[in-house]
Structure 1
Amino acid sequence: MPERRSRKDAARNREAVLAAADALFARRGSPEDVTMADVAAAAGVGKGTIFRAFGDRAGLLRALYEVRLEPIREAVETGPPPLGPAAPPQDRVPALLDAVLCFKLDNRRLALALEEGGSGSPYQAEHYERWHSLLRAVLERIPGLADSDFTAHALLAATRADLVEYLAGEACVPREELRAQLANFAARFLASGPPQGPAAEE
């Protein structure tokens, strides 16, 4: 019984920390303005509880990112077309890219902090690998498309957090214009067909 209560307490504390972090990050201009002490105070727990549950600040950011991403993941895995698995690949590719872009627009500071934080490459982050794997699998269903692995990287580059932050922040490109630009980019790529020339003949 004590062990079960301990697990329940740990789960409750984790939810409280994520809710507190979510609220703090939403209110402040940058995740860098939020300290672990701020989160602990808002959640009503000690800093040690946060470190035990999430490891470090980056771990907390990753966990919060995953919580916010969950509705999109569910739509991608089980939702209706054009985002869900039943959609034709030519429809699903731009829908997936739009979902990533909208998520990063809605979570600009958090996505930027996560992709820039730490010493590791953002391309090795779990969430990036998941999107890349999914997009690559969809691209592989398009007849005649060469090198779906590289193509998935190239398409996802248009949704990098630093680019989204620059375009939406410094360049002040409106949200719907960004979405339209990305949709047009994906449409042109999909309409171009298999690559031509020496590379395609190898």
Structure 2
Amino acid sequence: MAERKARADALRNREAVLTAADALFARSASPRSVSMDEIAAAAGVGKGTLFRRFGDRTGLIRAVFDARIEPLRQAVTDGPAPLGPSAAPRERVPALLDALLCFKLDHRHLALALEEAGSGSPYQGASYAWWHAILRDTLGRLAGTAAAATSGVTADATAGPPGGGRSGDAPSGDGRSGDAPSGADDFTAHVLLAATRADLVEHLADQEGATPDRLRAQLAAFVARVLGEEGRTA
């Protein structure tokens, strides 16, 4: 019973820390100004508890960010279309980026704090790598679908009349599939994710006065241009 109570207390303390840190980052003009001392005081725990549980300030920021973005990640891995894996790639790519932009708009303080944490290259972080892999693989499926469609059209066009012989072998596709994304998909995923960086969102929203609806519309137009006609939505 004592062990169960200790676990329950630890969970409550963890949530208290995450909530306190989230609120402090949201109220602060600069994420860098929020200290571990302030977070510990607001959560009602000792500073040593923070370091034992989260390692350092960056670890704490990452834990808060991961806790808040987890519902979105669940929607991407297990949810229905347009975010879930069952969605058509052409539908899923813009939906993924729109959802990520909306999260950044709603949690700019956390996203900025994580980007400014000074924990090395942001491109090597687990969260970025996860989103990049999802987007890259979806782009690979989109390209594979387009290649298959093109191959089918070409084969129909070069086939002989019913009952007759073929004038030649139908050209094949480019050999790619959604299971093997190309280097182009890898690079395109980086480019598209760059449009949702928290520092860019912060600049456009706070410095240039762009509304959330305007930012979402601009991102959708940008994604459509990157994907080309095959990726355009109505």
2:77 paired with 1:77: yes
Aligned length: 194
What is aligned with 1:120?
A: 120
Q: Report the AA paired with residue 137 of structure 1.
A: D
What is aligned with 2:93?
A: 93
- SS of structure 1 residue aligned to 2:205: helix
What is aligned with 1:129?
A: 129
What is aligned with 1:42?
A: 42
Structure 1: 4+ residue segments shifted above 4 A: 1-5
What is aligned with 1:200?
A: none
Task: Name the % identity.
Answer: 63
In 2: Cα distance, 1:141 partner to 1:38 partner: 47
In 2: Cα distance, 1:193 partner to 1:16 partner: 47
What is aligned with 1:56?
A: 56
Any stretches of 5+ residues in structure 2 without a counterpart?
148-180
Cα drift, residue 174 of structure 1: 1.1
Cα drift, residue 193 of structure 1: 5.5
Cα drift, residue 4 of structure 1: 4.5
Cα drift, residue 77 of structure 1: 1.5
What is aligned with 1:198?
A: none
Q: Report the AA paired with residue 155 of structure 1.
A: L
- SS of structure 1 residue aligned to 2:85: coil
For 1:10-49, what aligned pairs fall within 5 Å after superposition? 10-49=10-49
CA RMSD of aligned residues (A): 1.9
In 2: Cα distance, 1:27 partner to 1:155 partner: 29
Q: Report the AA paired with residue 34 of structure 1.
A: V
Q: Report the AA paired with residue 134 of structure 2.
A: L
TM-score by length of 2: 0.77
Cα gap change, 1:64 to 1:138, in 2 (>3 Å): same
Larger Rg: 2
What is aligned with 1:66?
A: 66
In 1: Cα distance, 2:13 partner to 2:138 partner: 38
1:29-88 CA-partner distances (Å, limit 9, x unpaired): 332232211111111110000110111111110000001101111111222211111110
What is aligned with 1:103?
A: 103
User: Relative to structure 2, which stretch is displaced further, 107-116 or 124-133?
Assistant: 107-116
In 2: Cα distance, 1:191 partner to 1:128 partner: 25
| Correspondence for 1:182 among 219, 223, 230 | 219
1:112-140 CA-partner distances (Å, limit 9, x unpaired): 22112224001011110000000011111
Any stretches of 5+ residues in structure 1 without a counterpart?
195-202
Q: Report the AA paired with residue 177 of structure 1.
A: R
In 1: Cα distance, 2:39 partner to 2:49 partner: 11
CA contact (8 A) 1:116 1:122 kept: no
